[in-house]
A and B are shown apart, each in its own frame.
Chain A
Amino acid sequence: MTTLGDAWAWLGDPAHWAGEDGIGHRLAQHLVLTVVCLLLSCLVALPVALVLGHLGKGGALAVNLSNAGRAVPTFAVLVLLLLTPVGRWEQGPTVVALVLFAVPPLLTNAYVGMRGVDRGVVQAARGMGMTGWQLLWRVEAPLALPLIMSGVRVAAVQLVATATLAALAGGGGLGRIITAGFNLASTPQVVAGAVLVAAFALVVEGLFEAAERLAPGRARRRGRAR
């Protein structure tokens, strides 16, 4: 228990909150990285998934991408990117890796959601004379919303984890507190950093959970594909 006490004392020290390497700055970095990359990944993945799901094409791609995303180690991708020209821009490897690992769950869930829309509803909408775009926007996308949102949730949690790992490859964010702790052989700092990261991840997951409960009934999740 003394380690936890030491970690708590480390967190309580105002000197550790200020400055470039302080908790405040790292927390802000982590938040900005997560939010910006989540938006970027949604911009990349969702249009593709919605169109593919609407056309019913590329299902194998959407599903296999998710499996591939699991098999490729995040850490390896971060280091590979660091050694390529992308590494010259400080946050380059982090941003690219974050987007790469957030896209598969977004794409797979949105695609599965679009394909899962009741075919009878789709045919009824066609019978009412809806064009392809109207069908996509007004019928399929709203009905697929629960699964799309659960994809966003999985992606967000994945982003927080990847942003933490980025610290190993010189990126910013809360993970830097942990890696600095390892370099200083300071167990209290390592544990304090880990507690911050874990709390951050759980808050993100909690926010999505709360949003889901507050959402109107039809937007709620019925199942999750990963």
Chain B
Amino acid sequence: MTPPDDCLARNEWICGTYLSTRRHILLDAVLQHLELTAVSVLTALAVALPLALVARRWRLAAGPVLGLTTVLYTIPSLAMFSLLLPVYGLSASLVVAGLVLYSLTLLVRNILAGLRAVPEETRQAARGMGYGPFRLLLAVELPLALPAAMAGLRIATVSAVSLVTVGAIVGFGGLGNLIYAGMNTYFKAQVLTASVLCVVIAVAADVLLLGVQRLLTPWTRAARA
């Protein structure tokens, strides 16, 4: 019996047979990739918002908060995941924790910049209308800080999609797992397909968040028109 002479056997970069026969593997990897990214970015957002508020409220806290997040951002991803190994072991939590630490810098910086850019007159006008501190924050300051915060969220999300691949070192890297396995077996179609899918996810997430931002801030469009 002769082996089949298809693009898989010839180890070609672009291979339709690979797509059709490995559909389930690809789908599972994409789902894991999306899950890891979404959980990390949402967790980071939940941590970053209070940190940014604290840094704005107390000037003394701003320096250490920004300094610490910058230091975390400087540590290379592979080292970050490795430093978390004793805490989390070989688990998905390790990848999520690492990604949360990375996203924090971008989110805290941008939310803080957005909050600081709210004009003082706007704040005074709201207070004059009888807004308490909590309502002022929710109804005036946060919406006005939204464009800057969303810019940070978009960068954090795109970076997270790309960094999830490094999670392959502990076996939880979404599409990175396929790239890692494909590297060890010189499987060109698998490496290229997984890489392209990564970029597609990153671009799709970016466009999606841009759409969300437009929906949430209709006044910015009205002002431009």
Contacts and interface: CB of A to CB of B under 8 A. Distances in A.
Contact of A70 (B85, B159, B183, B192): B159
A178 to B, nearest CB: 5
Interface residues of B, number: 39
Interface of A: 3-4, 67, 70-77, 79-80, 82-83, 157, 160-161, 164-165, 167-169, 175, 178-179, 181-182, 187, 190-191, 193-195, 197-198, 201-202, 205
A82 B179 CA distance: 11
A195 to B, nearest CB: 7
Nearest to A165: B78
Contacts of B8: none
A76 B165 contact: yes
A45 B202 CA distance: 25
A175 B78 contact: yes
Contact of B82 (A70, A83, A160, A191): A191
A76 B163 CA distance: 10
B86 A161 contact: no
A83 B188 contact: yes
A interface majority secondary structure? helix
B195 A80 contact: yes
B203 A71 contact: yes
Contact of A191 (B85, B155, B202): B85
Nearest to B87: A3
Nearest to A161: B76
Contacts of B194: 76
B176 A73 contact: yes
B199 A168 contact: no
Nearest to A164: B76
A201 B165 contact: no
Interface string B200-225: 00110010000000000000000000
A181 B220 CA distance: 51
Nearest to B201: A71
7 contacts: A71-B199, A73-B199, A75-B165, A76-B191, A161-B76, A165-B76, A167-B78
Contacts of B198: 72-73, 76
What are the nearest 10 A-B pairs in CB distance? A194-B82, A161-B76, A76-B195, A197-B79, A3-B86, A71-B202, A194-B79, A73-B162, A164-B76, A73-B165
Contacts of A167: 78
Interface in B55-109: 71, 74-80, 82-83, 85-86
Contacts of A193: 79, 82
Contacts of A74: 162
Given A80-B192, A83-B188, A191 B203 contact: no
B79 A164 contact: yes
A198 B162 contact: no
B166 interface: yes
